[in-house]
A and B are shown apart, each in its own frame.
Chain A
Amino acid sequence: MIGLVIVSHSARLAEGVCELAEQVAQGRVRLAAAGGAADPEHPIGTDAFKVQQAIESVYSEDGVLVLTDLGSAVLSAETALEFLEEDKRGHVKLCSAPLVEGAVAAASQAAAGASMEEILREVEAALAVARPVAAESSQERLVTLTNALGLHARPAAKLIRIARRFQALVTIENVTHAAGPFEATGINGILSLGARQGHRLRIRADGPDARQALAELAVFIEGGCGDQDQPPEQPEQPGKPVPQASGELSGIAASAGVAIGPLVRLRPAEVPRDARVVDDPDAEWRRLLAAIHGAREETRTLYEWARTHAGADEAGIFDAQLLFLEDPKLLDRASRIVLGERANAEFAWHEATGEIAAGYLQARAADVTDVVDRVLRRLTGVAATSANLHGILTAHDLTPSEMAQLGPVLGLCLESGSASAHSVILARAIGIPVVAGLGPAISAVAEGTIVALDGERGTVRISPDAAQVKALEARRKQWLASRRTAEAARHRPASTRDGRPIRVLANISGVAEAAEAVDYGADGVGVLRTEFLFLGRTAAPGEEEQVAAYRAIAQSLGGRPLIIRTLDAGGDKSLPYVEIGEEANPFLGWRGIRVTLGRRDLFRTQIRAVLRTGAGQSVGLLLPMVTVLDELRETKALIQDVEAELDREGAAFLRDIQVGVMIEVPAAVAIAGELAREASFFSIGSNDLIQYCMAADRTNPRVASLADGLQPAVLRMIRQAVEAARAAGIEVTLCGELAADTLATPLLIGLGMDEFSVSAALIPQLKQAIGRWSVAEAEAIAREALAMDSSGAVRKLLGSAAR
């Protein structure tokens, strides 16, 4: 256990800092205070021997970190080291971080199981925050703004990013326009300079690296602020391509079903922001901060998305939005309104952003409104969608929360997205037909136009004629009837027509969803995505919290099996307490089991919780993103270690738990034989397997058709994994969107699946689909599909087999 020694001139201060650190240390860090001098007459001072004793009292080979306040405390601490034994000295680190920030940062890191090295890095970061500007050099320089658009949001964001790289305090003044100087830390200040082409700017930098900061900023500004769009921006063309009055658009068949109705568009909702007085301004302020934090995460995701899909230049606007959310001036204003005036968070945010944004952001009003609303929506829980839309909704894409708020829409036309986008998965779960990936053509269709959407063929007919409407309505009736039958039969175990039982499990991510899954007829839970416990908080859930959640789920399942997948962080899921850092390519980065094996503290706690939950329950463990055999072996070694530990503690737990691996990386398929010999079961994660196998992002409409589970390459990979499992005598589950696609059901049964795991709401239809086929028919379809040379051919085969 890492030790932390707080050295201060004041005994009370040292104890107070320990108290503060104790709050985050959660008993996982040894803390010792070494404050005050030995002389009771002159208690203010530091005493090297006190420091030495404090170090000894918390010493272990994990190391001791000593934090100090003023100058001579450092001297005492260093002197204390002289009195330590030689071999201990190496394990003691002194740190010049600011005492309070440093102590809290160090304690929270240490509590999270960070190594001394990691802690020092984190604490150094705290140092950077509180470090006063060294007044060694102060420089200034006049430059002329050359780019045509002036210092608008995107170049301002870039400028701030450059300025923030330096310790020097940078201010910028618009000499031509007599505005400023403003610190180059907040985007609003920089934007309010109103700097346009030809304006003279005075950049001033104070601090040790002032010269370098000035040089880089001058090059940036005089070089055109990195703006590529040198000619002034064209206003949006009012008349887009002529609206198509009739004809058929084709996209991706994303959710089965047929719907006919008038086209409606998504409208932003009115967000309530009335003022009221709150009882607990501190809690209100925390609520606002949480919303801002959430909005930042969301914006960061948008930035990443835009950067990948449209390039860094286009993504710049999201960077500007991020800086807007981080602007100290804005946060300061908002905090005054909440804490000073005891106003509610919605009102304060609206007021503060209104004041800050007034005047100088007109040109980018939409962008600001967007980011301001992003926070308000989080505060009020109002999604951008109005819930009383009827007809067929068209949108660029929908967020899951917007999907969840959808009113009685008949169907969904999406410009972007694919069959496996989150919004589509939800639509399928609630039984709304969807055609995705229609591109901008659908937005050109006037609202109110009658459209007929066919979620099985992936087509949208604009203004269908009477005969077309009649044919489609017949199909719609058929589809609805079949859904009702499936609902009625959902609690019966599924089996093929000739009687081979196939279990249908649910993918869930939450305690409440367990009961819901049972209600939908789930035979158990095939994947419990434990991220729900880890996301949206600042520290990892503890063992007891996890045990409580897993137990509640197991109890809801009433003896049905529960497969718990270990934390799958990374990729698009980042956690504040797992420092993943900037990755150029998060989906090829530190994610899944790579993270948990690197953060043994988190992993061990989760495994302990799972094993303890397993006592007297049917629980299995599933490892995400397994790529090499060692990952499985290391995990099993860790499980053994945990078992021994639980034995020593005399705790009740599940011994020899079934450990399955997710097959979602092509590498795992290639070594499936070896994995199958050491794993208890396979769970094929089709979404990731498809995107890694096809090297295609399913959210990118240009390549979404490649990210298709019916691609021969994917089918052959699945086949290979199943064969390896068969040879080793273990079972295979298919989870992911492919499993939910009832068109593919016979093919998947034919490939040898023992189980499917899908969103709970899809279980009735899937069970129904399974019952339509005999094993022999399914195997024949699989054989034929495996010999085909395109996903189109496979789809055609499945389509004709279904009729």
Chain B
Amino acid sequence: MGNLTGMAVRRQDVLAWMEELQRVYAENRDRLTELDSAIGDADHGTNMDRGFSALKTELAANVPADIRAVLQTVATVLIRTVGGAAGPLYGTFFLRASAACAGKPQLEDAEIVTMFRAGVDGLQARGKAVAGDKTMLDVLLPAMSAMGEKLEQGGTLAEILAAGAAAAEKGMLDTIPMQARKGRASYLGPRSIGHQDPGATSAWLLLKAAAATLVSSPNWT
């Protein structure tokens, strides 16, 4: 055994995150679809579940070589299978996140935050939504702020991700009184008020699962 050089997220942690996501989206499938049926086209839960089930099959068949390749596979599978807006949006999130991991066998705390930020930036550029449009960004943007803040304060990865998940949950609830200005729900205009946004909900689940799985393990070299 070598020396302990620090703490880092490794490939198997990311794979665990994906496994957790598969479980979480399967479990929340009906709930997400129900939320979507109020203000959308009632397929978000089915779509997410389908995407992550397909991902599970894919990862069982081939395990990609590093974190970047894992995230790339996630992106590809989601884009191909999720359908609706969520496919390209989450696909872009993971694609940009994977790019941020290029050449890194493992990720330090700060690099995890960078990875999330790259993903969220990509997703925002793709969806062109801003805070307050009643979208997944109303979850992801406050989560990024909270994670960034916690990192500045010298928090551990667990603390950073927990802060992100907590901010995400608050952001998700904040979407309830909002009027949708993007996506299918925006067609409803004022009638979208009073409903929790399904995309915001799936985004919260994504961060919650990250907090539960992405732990820094001791890093031996």
Which positions in A face B, CB cutoff 8 Å? 37-39, 42, 44-49, 70-72, 75-76, 78-79, 82, 135
Give CA–CA (A39, B47) in the complex, Å. 11
B80 x A75 contact (CB < 8 A): no
Assuming A37-B83, A39-B50, A45-B84, is B184 touching A75 (CB within 8 A)? Answer: no
A82 x B92 contact (CB < 8 A): yes
Q: Which of B67-101 contact A (CB under 8 A)?
A: 76, 79-81, 83-89, 91-92, 95
A79 x B184 contact (CB < 8 A): no
Give CA–CA (A42, B50) in the complex, Å. 10
CB-nearest residue of chain A to B99: A82
Q: Which residues on A sit within 8 Å (CB–CB) of B79?
A: 47-49, 76, 79
B130 → A minimal CB distance (Å): 15
Answer yes or no: B126 CB below 8 A from chain A CBs. yes
Give CA–CA (A70, B40) in the complex, Å. 13
Assuming A71-B183, A71-B184, A75-B89, is B95 touching A82 (CB within 8 A)? Answer: yes
Q: Which residues on A sit within 8 Å (CB–CB) of B46?
A: 42
A78 → B minimal CB distance (Å): 6
A78 x B83 contact (CB < 8 A): no
Give CA–CA (A76, B84) in the complex, Å. 9
B91 x A42 contact (CB < 8 A): no
Number of residue pairs A-B, CB distance < 8 angstroms: 64
Q: Which residues on A sit within 8 Å (CB–CB) of B83?
A: 37, 39, 42, 44-47
B22 → A minimal CB distance (Å): 16
* Residue of B47, B76, B87, B127 ringed by the most chain A CB atoms within 10 A: B87
A38 x B88 contact (CB < 8 A): no
Q: Which residues on A sit within 8 Å (CB–CB) of B95?
A: 79, 82
Q: Which residues on B sit within 8 Å (CB–CB) of A44?
A: 83
Which positions in B face A, CB cutoff 8 Å? 43, 46-47, 50, 76, 79-81, 83-89, 91-92, 95, 126-127, 182-184, 189
Partner of B80, one of A49, A71, A78: A49
Contact sample, A vs B, 21 pairs, CB 8 Å cutoff: A39-B50, A39-B81, A42-B43, A42-B47, A45-B83, A45-B87, A48-B88, A48-B91, A70-B184, A71-B182, A71-B183, A71-B184, A72-B84, A72-B87, A72-B88, A75-B87, A75-B88, A75-B92, A79-B79, A82-B95, A135-B189
Partner of B88, one of A42, A70, A76: A76
B178 → A minimal CB distance (Å): 17
CB-nearest residue of chain A to B96: A82
Q: Which residues on A sit within 8 Å (CB–CB) of B184?
A: 70-71
B87 x A48 contact (CB < 8 A): yes
Assuming A71-B184, A82-B92, is B85 touching A38 (CB within 8 A)? Answer: no
Partner of B126, one of A42, A75, A135: A75
A38 x B92 contact (CB < 8 A): no
Q: Which residues on B sit within 8 Å (CB–CB) of A38?
A: 80-81
Q: Which residues on A sit within 8 Å (CB–CB) of B88?
A: 46, 48, 72, 75-76, 78-79
Give CA–CA (A48, B47) in the complex, Å. 15
Partner of A79, one of B84, B91, B182: B91
Give CA–CA (A38, B87) in the complex, Å. 12
A773 → B minimal CB distance (Å): 79
A56 → B minimal CB distance (Å): 16
CB-nearest residue of chain B to A38: B80
Give CA–CA (A49, B184) in the complex, Å. 23
